[in-house]
Amino acid sequence: MTDLINQVKEQHKRDDFSFDDRLLVYSNLPSLRVHRNWATYLKGIFKANRCRLEVSVDNHFHGRTAKISDDILREIYLAQSPEKQALMD
C-alpha cells in the first residue's frame, strides 16, 4: 500500500490524476453502497498518508424508513393524555 501511495504522490506532482479518476469509476460500480464505502475508506487511507485524492465520492444514501404523515402524527398526539401532550409541545 505504501508503494501505491508513493506512486500516486508522484503522479499528482505531474498533474496526473488517473488514479483519482479510476477510483471515481470504481465508486460508481454496482453495488453502489459497497463500492462507495470502500472508495471513501481508501480516500481516508491516502489522506492519512498526506496524499489527498481529488475525487468526490457521494456516500450519503436515502433512508429506507417511510416518513410518517402529519395526519398519523396528529392522531398519535391526540391519543395521549393532556400531560403527555404538554411534554410534546
27 Cβ neighbours under 8 A, 6+ residues apart: 35, 36, 38, 39, 40, 55, 57
Asked whether residue 26 is assigned to any structural domain, the reply reads yes
Asked whether residue 74 is assigned to any structural domain, the reply reads no
pTM listed for this prediction = 0.67
Mean pLDDT of all residues in 59-85: 87
Look at the chain and report how many structural domains it folds into. Answer: 1
pLDDT digits (tens, 9 = 90+) for 5-38: 999 999 999 999 999 999 999 999 999 999 999 9
Residue 26 belongs to what domain range?
1-60
Compute the residue count for the chain. Answer: 89
Asked whether residue 5 is assigned to any structural domain, the reply reads yes
Peptide bond into 18 cis (omega under 30): no
